[in-house]
């Protein structure tokens, strides 16, 4: 077992890697554990950044052509799909490079693999290379969130998909139901709406983005309704 860290952060998303960088700046020997092949967590690898890389060109395409159905066929061309994939890759790569450079500049070490708290002072990291145990004086959990299936709507990876899979649908669906009117659901719904899908959003509460203030939520609702 190597020399102990002062702090191990489990999760290298926007909360995790920023915390690791700040701790290193304050003089802590720090490590950041990430289950994805590159630092950045869900947001950078399969969440916020890839979805925004799709949202911008979808908005541009909607502005340039009419009518709507002619603009967005149910089966997009291979060229457009390939360009979308390249755009996502470029956006994610530049952001990953920035987060990795920040970590390197403050001597905060990245540990790629799945982290598990084995004891109050030990974090176990499982990767393709095997299992490694790292001692630490402090542990910060910054694992973020993951999609959860509803009891009566289990993911089948085809018709019922989660947010990560919704970033890479093989074709634009004719109709799409988004369960949940939070930031992720509305953002992905907007992507496919602008590409030609008929989108319906279901929300248990009485308004969209319930975590947002009432006025901002109302303005967003009006903006989304104008796009439909």
CB atoms near residue 76 (< 10 Å): 18
Residues constituting the chain = 228
Instruction: Find residue 122's DSSP bridge partners.
Output: 119, 135
Same domain, 98 and 176: no
Quote the domain boundaries for residue 177: 147-228
Same domain, 135 and 194: no
CB atoms near residue 11 (< 10 Å): 22
Nearest to 17 by CA among 7, 27, 5: 7
Same domain, 12 and 109: yes
The answer to whether the beta carbons of residues 36 and 167 sit under 8 Å apart is no
CATH number at residue 15: 3.50.50.60
Which of 117, 146, 175 marks a domain boundary? 146
Same domain, 153 and 136: no
Same domain, 190 and 155: yes
Pairing of strands 109-112, 30-34: parallel
pLDDT confidence of residue 162: 92
pLDDT confidence of residue 146: 80
pLDDT confidence of residue 84: 53
Q: How far apart are CA 44 and CA 151, in angstroms?
A: 29
pLDDT confidence of residue 30: 94
pLDDT confidence of residue 211: 85
Which of 146, 179, 200 marks a domain boundary? 146
For the chain, how many structural domains are there in total? 2
Q: What is the largest CA-CA distance in the chain?
A: 64
Same domain, 117 and 182: no
For the chain (228 residues), the mean pLDDT of every run of 10, in chain order, is: 87 89 92 86 68 63 46 44 49 48 64 95 95 96 87 92 87 93 89 90 92 91 85
Same domain, 20 and 114: yes
């Amino acid at each position: 077992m190597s020399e102990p860290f002062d702090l191990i952060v489990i999760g290298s998303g926007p909360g995790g890697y920023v915390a690791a960088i700040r701790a290193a700046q304050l003089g802590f020997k720090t490590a950041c554990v990430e289950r994805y092949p590159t630092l950045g967590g869900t947001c950078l690898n399969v969440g916020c950044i890839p979805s925004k890389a799709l949202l911008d060109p979808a908005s541009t395409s909607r502005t340039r052509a009419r009518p709507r159905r002619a603009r967005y066929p149910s089966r997009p061309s291979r060229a457009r799909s390939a360009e979308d994939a390249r755009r996502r890759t470029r956006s994610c790569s530049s952001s990953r490079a920035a987060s990795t450079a920040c970590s390197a500049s403050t001597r905060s070490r990245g540990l790629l693999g799945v982290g598990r708290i084995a004891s109050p002072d030990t974090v176990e990291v499982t990767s393709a290379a095997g299992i490694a145990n790292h001692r630490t004086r402090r542990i910060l959990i910054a694992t973020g969130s993951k999609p959860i299936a509803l009891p009566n709507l289990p993911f089948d990876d085809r018709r019922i998909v989660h947010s990560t899979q919704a970033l890479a649908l093989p074709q634009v669906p004719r109709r799409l139901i988004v369960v949940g009117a939070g930031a992720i659901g509305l953002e992905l719904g907007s992507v496919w709406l602008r590409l030609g899908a008929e989108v319906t959003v279901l929300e248990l509460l009485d308004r969209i983005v319930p975590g947002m203030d009432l006025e901002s939520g109302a303005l967003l609702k009006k903006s989304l309704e104008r796009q439909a």
